[in-house]
Amino acid sequence: MSMRSILVKQFGGIENLIIGTAPKPTPKNNEILVHVKSFALNRADILQRMGRYPPPPGDSDILGLEMSGVVVEADKQDKRFKIGDKVFGLVGGGAYGEFCTIASNQAFHMPSHLTFESASAIPEAWLTAFQALHPLANFKSGNSVLIHAAASGVGTALIQLCKVDGATKIIGTVGSDEKAKFIEKLGATHSVNYKTNENFLDVINDVTSKKGVNNVFDYVGAKYWNQNLKSLSMDGVMIIQGFLSGSHIKDTAADITPILGKRLTIKGSTLRNRDNDYKADLVAQFSKRYLTLFESGELKPIVDKVFNVSEIKEAHEYLEANKNMGKVVVKGFTD
């Protein structure tokens, strides 16, 4: 059987995104088949469309890492989900299709107050943020943090998680005054518009009395390398999960002295290529710690704009232009 899907005609620009047909996936043991009602965009989708980020072996080559929808097939031996359940979750690929399979231990029951659009904005962004904050950065209540690309999906999730977990200072870098006001309203204590002030280190020194921040969460890469190291406190931890400005440090004055002098820890991480057991454990930890906070409204997925599936090119263009404050979401194929 076939299904409708967003496909990539050939690697390259948005003009290669087309609506076509693909084989309807068949769930394996301990998987559910979901009729996708909404999916959210990630920069990994753009990289995969360009041929620079292939899916892990065994995962669908259809774009899309997070979705929400309705269960249409369920493993009878697995009692976690049944046909008709509303779910959202993290997938290695396939969310741009009309139907998508997902391991049942990587799916969430959808709280009744969430829409499909808001639920699809949670999995990849919030699990990436959670992974960076706790298993990787070993964040503790009372820490001060610097979050780059703070108005992005992951950035807005990190701000909220840091706030509820007791960060004393949350400093975010953004690309406009509008975004600066937005992240401060969300919970950031300070903001830096890098378009008008490229030296965020001055702000860090002022805010922390030159002590530096405990944690840096970086998605920009090479351009911020020197300032990031100087921004960290003694025994500080930096998590690198992207390199929007490039991966090669061209500055001949790049200095690694702070790594030794301040006993810094620098970690790089992705989520997509983690094994299923790791992802399942991450989902379980996140659910136990935070899911009720979505139900209470203390945490909320930030949806910037919702597109129809026929507008997939416009959605990619919007994300690539860095216009978003929060997640870019696309409605799934309608009957």
Looking at residue 196, the DSSP 8-state letter turns out to be T
Q: Write the DSSP symbol of residue 246.
A: -
| Segment 261-274 mean pLDDT | 92
**What does pTM read for this prediction?**
0.91
CB hemisphere CA count around 274 (13 angstroms): 21
Q: What is the pLDDT of residue 246?
A: 61
Helix H or strand E segment including 78: none
pLDDT of 311 strictly over 70? yes
Q: For 48-102, how does the pLDDT look when each residue is reduced to its tens digit (9 = 90+)?
A: 999 999 998 889 999 999 999 999 999 888 889 999 999 999 999 999 999 999 9
* Residues whose CB is less than 8 angstroms from the CB of residue 104 and which lie 6 or more positions away in sequence, other chains included: 30, 31, 32, 74, 75, 78, 80, 81
Instruction: State residue 256's pLDDT score.
Output: 84
Q: Enumerate the H helices of the chain as residue ranges.
A: 43-49, 116-120, 123-131, 153-164, 177-186, 200-208, 225-231, 257-261, 276-296, 312-320
End-to-end CA distance of the chain: 16
Domains and CATH numbers, the chain: 2-125+272-331 (3.90.180.10), 137-268 (3.40.50.720)
What lies within 8 Å, CB to CB, of 79 at 6+ separation is: none
Cβ-Cβ contacts under 8 Å for 303 (sequence gap 6 or more)? 117, 118, 121, 326, 327, 329
Could you report the per-residue pLDDT of 226-242, keeping only the tens digit for each? 899 999 999 999 999 87
Residue 335 has pLDDT above 90, yes or no: no
Distance CA 170, CA 187 (A): 8
The pLDDT assigned to 251 comes to 66
Quickly state the pLDDT bin for 252 (edges 50, 70, 90): low
Give me the pLDDT at residue 161, please. 98
Measured in whole angstroms, the distance separating CA 39 from the mean position of its chain's CA atoms is: 13
Q: Is the pLDDT of residue 247 over 80?
A: no
Q: How far is CA 154 from the centre of its chain?
A: 4
**Length reported for the chain:** 335
pLDDT of residue 244: 65
Mind listing the pLDDT tens digit for each residue in 115-139? 999 999 999 999 999 999 998 998 9
SS3 of 82, please? coil
Q: Is the pLDDT of residue 35 over 90?
A: yes
Q: What is the mean pLDDT of residues 305-314?
A: 98
